[in-house]
Amino acid sequence: MPLRFTLRQLEYLVAVGEAGSIALASERVNVSSPSISAAIAQLEAEFGLALFVRKHAHGLTLTQGGRQFMAQAKAVLAEAARLNEIAGTITGQVRGPLSVGCLQTFAQVVLPQLRRSFVDLYPAVEFHQEELDQTGIFEGLRRATLDVALSYDLDIPSDIIFHPLVDLPPYAVMQASHPLAGRASVTPADLAEHPMILLDLPFSNDYFLSFFAQSGLRPRIVERTRDMGVMRSMVANGFGYSIANIRPVTELAPDGRRLNYVPLTGPVRSLHLGLALMAGAGQALTVRAFVDHATDRITPRAAPGLHMRLPGAG
């Protein structure tokens, strides 16, 4: 009996079910909204089943039958992906889809070069990337929408494995003319009275603020942003200093103005940049190849797009 559906249709179904709208699903899978609508309509017609309730103001909601159908669709897609893994293992070829997440704090700096060198080595890999905050990375790994992710060791849950790659100490990021910009290092106490631009991302914000709390201090936060580029440009234009563990090889903000990165000392701790994945995920040949590649390319002496601070160096 011929199949009454395609894997592509199931992929679109899952995307719509998770996104809650065809427009958002279209962005996620990079396919036009009419194509996704047609695929959903074909599935509903083939199986005689209403998968979604259409709500003009609130997008689409899965019906009870649609939820069951989507759960099975995910299982079918996972098994189909396993065929690629099995084929790669048998042939010894690194091939098939690979979904890589990256913490948005450093995605623009680290990931493009790392991806370029990886796909040049393994052109048969279908590389997909997603830039997320820490919460989104944990969710993506658990839902298996991500195979592996580049992240920090911030509150890693017990069900996620973290492989540290490099140690990244914190810096105070300042406008070149800031009164503290010429120092060899600064402490949270030195910074507390100055205006601060907080990089306000889940887990990261608590990490930065803990530096001050341990000294019984409160920073003078004048602005918050979730975007690293916005933070750097605001700092470069004199709205305040910020704190970051990522120091790009260029010390220019996105608008071209110069920044100073001053090592932060005192009651502070470094973060580890590394690879996060679910137990067992590293058994897949493609995932193993990416883990090995990232381990080779991201080292204490050199990492894509990053200025690495060697022990004893500024």
Q: Where are the chain's structural domains?
A: 7-84, 93-167+271-297, 170-263
Question: What φ, ψ does residue 273 adopt, rounded to 5°?
Answer: -85, 130
Q: Do the domains spanning 93-167+271-297 and 170-263 agree at the CATH topology level?
A: yes
Section 100-117 average pLDDT? 95
Architecture (CATH level 2) of domain 170-263:
3-Layer(aba) Sandwich (3.40)
Section 111-133 average pLDDT? 95
Hey, CA dihedral for 250, 254, 259, 264, is it positive or negative? Answer: negative
Q: Could you count the other beta carbons within 10 Å of the beta carbon of residue 129?
A: 18
Section 80-84 average pLDDT? 70
pTM for the model: 0.72
DSSP letters for 183-198: SS-B-HHHHTTSEEEE
Q: Which fold has domain 7-84?
A: Arc Repressor Mutant, subunit A (1.10.10)
Partnered with residue 253 across adjacent β-strands are none
CA dihedral angle for residue 203, residue 135, residue 153, residue 150, rounded to 10 degrees = -130
Structure tokens at 233: 């440009």
Section 236-256 average pLDDT? 95
Q: Could you give the CA distance from residue 77 to residue 92 in angstroms, rounded to a whole number?
A: 22
Model confidence at 89, in pLDDT bands (50, 70, 90)?
Answer: low
Section 268-275 average pLDDT? 95
Q: Which residue has the higher pLDDT, 2 or 304?
A: 304
Q: Which helix or strand (DSSP H or E) is residue 77 part of?
A: helix 64-91
User: Over 80: is that where the pLDDT of 303 sits?
Assistant: yes
Architecture (CATH level 2) of domain 93-167+271-297:
3-Layer(aba) Sandwich (3.40)
Catalogue the E-assigned strands of 43-155. 52-55, 59-62, 96-103, 125-132, 148-152
In this prediction, residue 314 carries a pLDDT of: 46
Which of 70, 34, 36 lies closest to 50, judged by CA? 70
